[in-house]
Amino acid sequence: MLVLFAAGLIAIVTIYKFRDESKHYQQDKLERKVASIKASINYQIENTTYPVETKYIPLIFKDKIYEISHIHDTQIGFYDLDGKLLKSSRASFKSSTEEDQLSEMILFQLKNTAGNHFSYQHTDEDGQRIMSSFSYITDTHFKPLAILSLPKIESDGILEKELRDFLLILSQVYIVLMMAAVVLSYFFSRYITKSLNAVSDKIFKTRLDQKNQRIRIENIPIEITGLANAYNSMVDELEESAEKLATSEREQAWREMAKQIAHEVKNPLTPMRLSMQSFERRFDPEDPDNKEKVKAFSRTMIEQIDIMSEVASAFSDFAKMPKPQNELLNIPEVVQSGLSIFNQDKIKFSTTNSEIFTLFDRTQLIRITTNLVKNAIQACQNCENPEIKVRIEETKKNVILKVEDNGKGISDEHKNRIFEPKFTTKSSGMGLGLGIIKQIMENYNGKIYFESVLNKGTTFTVEIPKTT
């Protein structure tokens, strides 16, 4: 655009300058010719035998007008001071550029011109540009005798030709410059955008949970060094912030875990203490029912101890996941095996294919299935017609396990917290099941997500990547 603007501006200035010079050149040429012709006319007037008066002009220049016209190669006409034609060098004086009577405008301009002649420019019927000159002829005492007309002095086309040639050369030069500018702009923009693309790729790959690579300054243009420095500074700050955040999250997680463990352990300890205090107050050595009372007390203690054992096992499983033992599994077969422990008619199993193989840990797949089905059964406890659908589907990249129930659903306020390790909406349990499943799927680069409508049901979907 800059090259085109410069070319256009230079072309406009050049055309204006050439036309201005052409105009002055034609005027100067006309004035020189008028001066030369008037010198010949003055010489004839000074040496004539006729009285030097307006009415004798045709006689003074009876033959001389043709000689002067031939010498100067132009037509000559004489008018009286009122603008009436007196004499012309043309055999037939009528033409498109000459009239028998000059116009009032020409006479007025002649009388009011500061110089001794007046000239103007017009176009004839052929479209050719013509310049005509009108000036006074005076006697030896500078008294006006007649008006000299020099019609049809054609303009010289040399300057016009030079203008066309110059513009042609200018256009050729700027075409070459334009092509060079396009080529240079293309490679320069590629050079710049290549570096910008490299920086943008780095920015898109920036993650809080991984170490991000810095940009090497020596490999980029100086134009975007500032951007690279800003990115490197951001990476350093991000890494520092990630470390602080990870430390803070670990500390917070341990604090929350400790609070949860303490809460879950206190729950059975309280009834154990109350039971022991009650047994101590009411114990009577002479009571014949002491044996039954001791058994009831023992059952209560054992139940609470079992609850504490379950709490310890659950937290142990969550904190220390066993190392996966990957093997080529037929997913529908293993899922059916996990469902066999429930033995409930309300659980319906279906699969798009009876044989869908992928590498996975058998124990963890059964754990995923049983946890999801347990949650579905608990969600349907108060339903009139409980129904749980377990379905396996297959895509090109994933094996999909879906567990759908028609239970109470999940409220909007709980949806964002459903995978938190310690979160649960049930009256019992630690809320670690879905957290464990999420951790298993993250280890396998898989996904777990859900859709739920309150009081209509919930569908959990597990996507297991296919591997062979």
Which residue has better confidence, 233 or 259? 233
Name the pairing type of β-strands 77-79 and 398-405.
unpaired
Residue 122 pLDDT exceeds 60: no
Quote the pLDDT of residue 108: 83
Residue 98 pLDDT exceeds 60: no
Quote the pLDDT of residue 151: 72
Residue 321 pLDDT exceeds 70: no
Quote the pLDDT of residue 230: 79
Candidate from 14-28, 196-210, 417-431 with smallest mean pLDDT: 417-431
pLDDT category, 464, cuts 50, 70, 90? Answer: very high
- Nearest CA-CA partner of 321 in 418, 446, 443: 443
Most confident of 199-203, 267-271, 393-397: 393-397
Mean pLDDT for 76-96 is 76
Give the domains, in start order, of the chain with CATH numbers.
Answer: 2-156 (3.30.450.20), 224-319 (1.10.287), 326-465 (3.30.565.10)
Residue 203 pLDDT exceeds 80: no
The tens digit of pLDDT for each residue in 139-164 reads: 878 888 888 888 765 555 566 677 78
Mean pLDDT for 344-354 is 87
Quote the pLDDT of residue 94: 46
45 contact partners, CB below 8 Å, separation of at least 6? 52, 60, 137, 139, 140, 145
Quote the pLDDT of residue 233: 81
Quote the pLDDT of residue 357: 92
Q: Provide the mean pLDDT of the chain.
A: 77
Name the pairing type of β-strands 388-394 and 347-351.
parallel
Please, are residues 446 and 463 in contact by the beta-carbon 8 Å criterion?
yes
Which residue has better confidence, 392 or 281? 392
Please, are residues 152 and 75 in contact by the beta-carbon 8 Å criterion?
yes
Please, are residues 211 and 242 in contact by the beta-carbon 8 Å criterion?
no
Which token pair is 6?
A: 């410069």
Quote the pLDDT of residue 293: 75
The tens digit of pLDDT for each residue in 379-420 reads: 888 788 889 999 999 998 899 999 999 988 888 887 877 777
Which residue has better confidence, 204 or 129? 204
Residue 95 pLDDT exceeds 80: no
Quote the pLDDT of residue 260: 64
The tens digit of pLDDT for each residue in 46-85 reads: 888 888 888 888 888 888 888 888 888 888 888 988 888 8
Q: What is the pTM of this model?
A: 0.38
The tens digit of pLDDT for each residue in 213-254 reads: 776 656 666 666 777 777 778 877 777 777 777 677 666 766
The partner residues of 388 in beta bridges, in order of sequence, read 347, 405
